[in-house]
């Protein structure tokens, strides 16, 4: 088959904040950049980010990057790599100002400075009073950032392939990445995009769980591509459950709602967070608040007919504060629940939200894999954003640190690639084996299949993950989860595309996404079954304590034989002293 081919210096797969920030850096340096996205760029999931982006601007409370670094290390339950965390927190203020100059309309204080709200896990002076570090554009911060970055990319002449689906990376025999095979969704025509470097920025995999805050597009395609290219995934057992998803539906009520003064109550009207986190209360870090809500419900203090949720109270804040600071939340509650949060409390329950694990990278976005003497980079491959694991979030991400992560490491990867291109001016010849393997993946879905439908299988993956790999975990339950996902993997061989009179491309895309979900479900539940301690979002009832002597290490999951290896956490920071692991209290 004759497949169309295009050549670029850099192929960026993903047009969320991470991909667009990298592409902008590159296009402004006159590199020839292609950005591929399965949805129109401004529909990428970054658009949904609500509460804001952290930077120690000190506009509202005293602050500095070192305190931000401490909070992030502590929030990560000491699993974050401290050199990368230092790099991110140091860069934060500069990047907020840069975004402001690129057009992001941050909310303002009366003195004209950028408004900052308190978020969970933030403190002054290394664990002291609550800090206010999150820069917000009302509760539509991601929307503002994504649109500004898109417009800047148009200006810088980035080339966009809108609604193209990336199927697989194209690999040379020595492992170097030469580009990717993509599919134009409208026509179903494959296209080879050849590139001197490829950057994955495909976002997270919230669709692993039935109730989640993520868009339907968040199926972890980049992580699946990495696994198939023989690259391991780091720390997949750490999946964040956001404390305040709308109960039973999943839509997110930003942590900013508690930052503005909202609080949680149980069926007795008790502010129960005072028992779990006497100092930080409702603004303890997310893993702590999610566990507290789940415990309240399990112990019979839940609200509603089925006693299966708690209530988030915002009504005391008044209409004016809600319409100024949380207009999107107010509109969402009105639309989906039919009442005004200025008058009534919102039913909430922890909801799958954020992928802490991902493709292992260094702080320049280079994908790194273990070799006998440490690590080496995969030539021609970078990853940034939620699909990557730098690792700055470790076992638990702090709210407001992901929008920061995507711009900090998006820019860092862009800069590194610019240098790489200076020394690597020519394309390597494409290899037919690499193309054939990617084409085979597509060809598998040219037939309809006779077994269970894609939709049914997806539903089963999501309910299995919710049941067997949720907020609280035990060995028996996780082992059962591994078994069930392995059975599902076997049944994939005969999966049937949706019933259409002919095979629409969208049906094929859903099947390709499902394959990724199954691979990532197995990566997540297997990594969770292997880690016999509690740390951050990975909470084991049978191993309730953190065990630094044995488990202060990152997991690396390989698709081949469902194998897991480990590598040390980088405790050494860049210029400041290490924050040694200690008990984590809020
Ligand atoms: C509801 C919600 C609210 C949030 N609020 C905040 C917040 O206030 N502050 C904060 O710091 N973080 C927040 N987060 C987290 C943060 O928004 C995300 O982690 C971050 O935006 C991810 O950006 P990204 O660039 O990595 O990926 P995304 O924005 O998810 O973009 C992924 C891109 O990859 C493309 N893609 C994926 N697969 C393929 C494929 N196979 N082929 C082609 N293209 C593909 C998609 O089309 C898209 O363009 C929130 C998350 C959610 C769900």
Pocket flag, ligand 1, residue 214 (CB < 6 Å): yes
pTM for this prediction: 0.96
Closest atom of ligand 1 to CA, residue 20 = 25
Residue identifier of the C-alpha nearest atom 13 of ligand 1: 49
Quickly list DSSP for 357-418. -BEEB-TTSEEEEEETTEEEEEEEEEE-GGGEE-SSSTTSPPTTHHHHHHHHHHHHHHHHHH
Q: Number of C-alpha atoms within 13 angstroms, CB side, residue 254?
A: 32
Closest atom of ligand 1 to CA, residue 256 = 8
The rounded Å distance from CA 564 to ligand 1 centre is 27
Q: Tokens standing for 295?
A: 């415990």
Residue identifier of the C-alpha nearest atom 53 of ligand 1: 214
Residue whose C-alpha is closest to residue 365's, from 405, 421, 424: 405
Quickly list DSSP for 5-65. EEEEEEEEE--SHHHHHHHHHHHHTT--EEEEESS-GGGSGGGG--S-EE----SSS---H
Pocket flag, ligand 1, residue 221 (CB < 6 Å): yes
∠ CA 511-380-505 to the nearest 5 degrees?
A: 20
- Quick check: 448 pLDDT over 80? no
CA–CA distance, 479 with 163 (Å, rounded to integer)? 38
Closest atom of ligand 1 to CA, residue 41 = 49
* Helix or strand (DSSP H, E) at 478: helix 475-491
Question: How does residue 536 score in pLDDT terms, banded at 50, 70 and 90?
Answer: very high
Report the range of poorest mean pLDDT among 83-87, 350-354, 447-451, 555-559. Answer: 447-451
Q: Could you tell which of 22, 23, 37 is best to mutate to test the pocket of ligand 1, judged by most ligand atoms within 8 Å of the CB?
A: 37
Task: Please provide residue 163's backbone torsions phi and psi, each rounded to the nearest 5 degrees.
Answer: 60, 45
- Quick check: 394 pLDDT over 80? yes
Q: Could you tell which of 403, 414, 513 is best to mutate to test the pocket of ligand 1, judged by most ligand atoms within 8 Å of the CB?
A: 403
Quickly list DSSP for 450-463. SSSBHHHHHHHHHH
Residue identifier of the C-alpha nearest atom 49 of ligand 1: 15
- Quick check: 1 pLDDT over 80? no
DSSP, collapsed to helix, strand or coil, labels residue 169 as strand
Q: Does domain 445-554 have CATH number 3.30.930.10?
A: no
Pocket flag, ligand 1, residue 13 (CB < 6 Å): yes
The rounded Å distance from CA 146 to ligand 1 centre is 10
What's the mean pLDDT when you consider all of the chain? 95
∠ CA 450-456-462 to the nearest 5 degrees?
A: 140
The residues that bridge with 200 in the sheet, in sequence order, are: 13, 383
Pocket flag, ligand 1, residue 406 (CB < 6 Å): yes
DSSP, collapsed to helix, strand or coil, labels residue 554 as strand
Question: DSSP character for 212?
Answer: B
Name the CA dihedral angle for 27, 32, 36, 40, rounded to a multiple of 10 degrees. Answer: 50
Residue identifier of the C-alpha nearest atom 35 of ligand 1: 14
Q: Which residue has the higher pLDDT, 173 or 76?
A: 76
Specify the pLDDT at position 150: 98
Chosen CATH of 244-352 out of 2.30.30.90, 3.40.50.720, 3.90.700.10, 3.30.365.10: 3.90.700.10
Pocket flag, ligand 1, residue 27 (CB < 6 Å): no
Pocket flag, ligand 1, residue 18 (CB < 6 Å): yes
Contact between 454 and 515 under an 8 Å Cβ cutoff? The reply is no
The rounded Å distance from CA 173 to ligand 1 centre is 32
CA–CA distance, 294 with 304 (Å, rounded to integer)? 14
Report the range of poorest mean pLDDT among 1-15, 47-61, 441-455, 517-531. Answer: 441-455
The rounded Å distance from CA 7 to ligand 1 centre is 26
Output the CA–CA distances (angstroms, integers) from residue 115 to 72, 131, 136, 324, in the order listed. Answer: 21, 13, 7, 12
- What are 468-484's pLDDT values in tens digits? 999 999 999 999 999 99
Q: Could you tell which of 104, 386, 516 is best to mutate to test the pocket of ligand 1, judged by most ligand atoms within 8 Å of the CB?
A: 386
Q: How many Cβ atoms from other residues are within 10 Å of residue 213's Cβ? A: 26
Pocket flag, ligand 1, residue 210 (CB < 6 Å): no
Report the range of poorest mean pLDDT among 300-314, 347-361, 445-459. Answer: 445-459
Q: Tokens standing for 318?
A: 């008044």
Contact between 90 and 32 under an 8 Å Cβ cutoff? The reply is no
Pocket flag, ligand 1, residue 217 (CB < 6 Å): yes
Pocket flag, ligand 1, residue 165 (CB < 6 Å): yes
Question: DSSP character for 471?
Answer: S
Contact between 412 and 458 under an 8 Å Cβ cutoff? The reply is no
DSSP, collapsed to helix, strand or coil, labels residue 97 as helix
Q: Provide the strand spans (E) within 64-163.
A: 116-117, 134-135, 159-162
The rounded Å distance from CA 203 to ligand 1 centre is 5
Return the domain boundaries, the chain.
244-352, 445-554
Specify the pLDDT at position 503: 58
- What are 105-139's pLDDT values in tens digits? 999 999 999 999 999 999 999 999 999 999 999 99
Specify the pLDDT at position 506: 84
Pocket flag, ligand 1, residue 42 (CB < 6 Å): no
CA–CA distance, 404 with 414 (Å, rounded to integer)? 15
Quickly list DSSP for 276-329. H-TTTGGGS-HHHHHHHHHHHHHTT--BTTTT-BEEEE-GGG-HHHHHHH-HHH
Taking residues 305-332, what's their average pLDDT? Answer: 93
Q: How many Cβ atoms from other residues are within 10 Å of residue 542's Cβ? A: 12
The rounded Å distance from CA 545 to ligand 1 centre is 32
Pocket flag, ligand 1, residue 52 (CB < 6 Å): yes
Taking residues 257-271, what's their average pLDDT? Answer: 95
Q: Tokens standing for 404?
A: 């920061």
Residue identifier of the C-alpha nearest atom 8 of ligand 1: 51
Output the CA–CA distances (angstroms, integers) from residue 10 to 34, 195, 314, in the order listed. Answer: 6, 5, 47
Task: Please provide residue 297's backbone torsions phi and psi, each rounded to the nearest 5 degrees.
Answer: -70, -45
Q: Could you tell which of 46, 207, 212, 215 is best to mutate to test the pocket of ligand 1, judged by most ligand atoms within 8 Å of the CB?
A: 46
Pocket flag, ligand 1, residue 223 (CB < 6 Å): no
Contact between 74 and 127 under an 8 Å Cβ cutoff? The reply is yes
Q: Tokens standing for 233?
A: 């995934």
- Quick check: 367 pLDDT over 90? yes
Peptide linkage before 391 cis (omega within 30 of 0): yes
- Quick check: 507 pLDDT over 80? yes
Which percentage of the chain shows pLDDT scores above 90? 91
Specify the pLDDT at position 35: 98
Pocket flag, ligand 1, residue 564 (CB < 6 Å): no
Specify the pLDDT at position 432: 86
Taking residues 372-378, what's their average pLDDT? Answer: 92
∠ CA 399-401-404 to the nearest 5 degrees?
A: 140
- Quick check: 155 pLDDT over 90? yes
The rounded Å distance from CA 14 to ligand 1 centre is 9
- What are 426-441's pLDDT values in tens digits? 999 988 888 998 999 9
CA–CA distance, 94 with 72 (Å, rounded to integer)? 18
- Quick check: 172 pLDDT over 60? yes
Task: Please provide residue 147's backbone torsions phi and psi, each rounded to the nearest 5 degrees.
Answer: -65, -40
Contact between 164 and 172 under an 8 Å Cβ cutoff? The reply is no
Report the range of poorest mean pLDDT among 246-260, 286-300, 390-404, 496-510. Answer: 496-510
- Quick check: 502 pLDDT over 70? no
The span from the first CA to the last CA of the chain, in angstroms, equals 61
Rounded to an integer, what is the distance from CA 121 to the centroid of its chain? 18
Active-site residue flag, 286 = yes
**Active-site residue, from 286, 325, 411, 584:** 286
């Amino acid at each position: 088959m004759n497949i169309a081919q295009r050549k670029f210096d850099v192929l960026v797969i993903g047009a969320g904040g991470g991909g667009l920030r990298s592409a902008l850096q590159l296009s402004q340096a006159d590199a020839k950049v292609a950005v591929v996205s399965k949805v129109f760029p401004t529909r990428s999931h970054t658009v949904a980010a609500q509460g804001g982006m952290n930077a120690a601007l000190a506009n509202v409370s005293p602050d500095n990057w070192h305190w931000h670094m401490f909070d992030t290390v502590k929030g990560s339950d000491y699993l974050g790599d401290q050199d990368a965390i230092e790099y991110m927190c140091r860069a934060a203020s500069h990047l907020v100002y840069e975004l402001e100059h690129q057009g992001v309309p941050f909310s303002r204080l009366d003195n004209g400075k950028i408004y900052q709200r308190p978020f969970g896990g933030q403190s002054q002076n290394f664990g002291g009073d609550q800090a206010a570090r999150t820069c917000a554009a009302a509760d539509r911060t991601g929307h503002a950032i994504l649109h500004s970055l898109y417009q800047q990319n148009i200006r810088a002449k980035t080339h966009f392939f809108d609604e193209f689906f990336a199927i697989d990376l194209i690999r040379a025999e020595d492992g170097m990445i030469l580009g990717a095979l993509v599919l134009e969704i409208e026509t179903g025509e494959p296209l080879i995009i050849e590139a001197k470097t490829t950057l994955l920025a495909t976002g997270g995999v919230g669709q692993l769980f039935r109730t989640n805050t993520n868009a339907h597009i968040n199926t972890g395609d980049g992580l699946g591509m990495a696994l198939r290219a023989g690259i391991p995934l780091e720390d997949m057992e750490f999946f964040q459950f956001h404390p305040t998803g709308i109960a039973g539906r999943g839509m997110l009520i930003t942590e900013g709602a508690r930052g503005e003064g909202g609080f949680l109550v149980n069926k007795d009207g008790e502010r129960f967070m005072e028992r779990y986190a006497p100092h930080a209360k409702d603004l303890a870090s997310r893993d702590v608040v999610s566990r507290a809500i789940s415990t309240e419900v399990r112990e019979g203090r839940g609200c509603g007919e089925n006693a299966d949720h708690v209530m988030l109270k915002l009504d005391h804040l008044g209409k004016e504060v809600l319409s100024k600071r949380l207009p999107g939340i107010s509109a969402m509650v009105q639309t989906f629940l039919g009442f005004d949060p200025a008058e009534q409390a919102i039913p909430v329950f922890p909801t799958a939200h954020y992928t802490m694990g991902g493709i292992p990278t260094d702080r320049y976005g280079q994908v790194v894999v273990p070799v006998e003497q440490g690590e080496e980079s995969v030539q021609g491959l970078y990853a940034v954003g939620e699909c990557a694991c730098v690792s700055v979030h470790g076992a638990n991400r702090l709210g407001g640190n992901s929008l920061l992560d995507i711009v900090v490491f998006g820019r860092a990867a862009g800069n590194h690639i610019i240098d790489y291109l200076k020394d690597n001016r020519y394309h390597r010849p494409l290899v037919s084996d690499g193309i054939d393997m990617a084409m085979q993946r597509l060809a598998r879905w040219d037939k309809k299949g006779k077994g269970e439908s894609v939709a049914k299988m997806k539903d089963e993956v999501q309910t299995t993950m919710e049941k067997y790999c949720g907020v609280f975990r035990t060995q028996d339950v996780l082992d059962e989860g591994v078994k069930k996902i392995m059975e599902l993997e076997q049944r994939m061989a005969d999966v049937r595309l949706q019933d259409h009179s002919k095979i629409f491309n969208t049906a094929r895309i859903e099947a390709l996404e499902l394959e990724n979900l199954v691979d990532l479900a197995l990566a997540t539940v297997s990594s969770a079954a292997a880690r016999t301690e509690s740390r951050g979002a990975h909470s084991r009832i049978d191993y309730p304590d953190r065990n630094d002597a044995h488990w202060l290490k990152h997991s690396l999951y390989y698709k081949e034989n469902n194998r897991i290896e480990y590598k040390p956490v980088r405790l050494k920071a860049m210029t400041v002293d290490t924050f040694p692991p200690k008990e984590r209290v809020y």
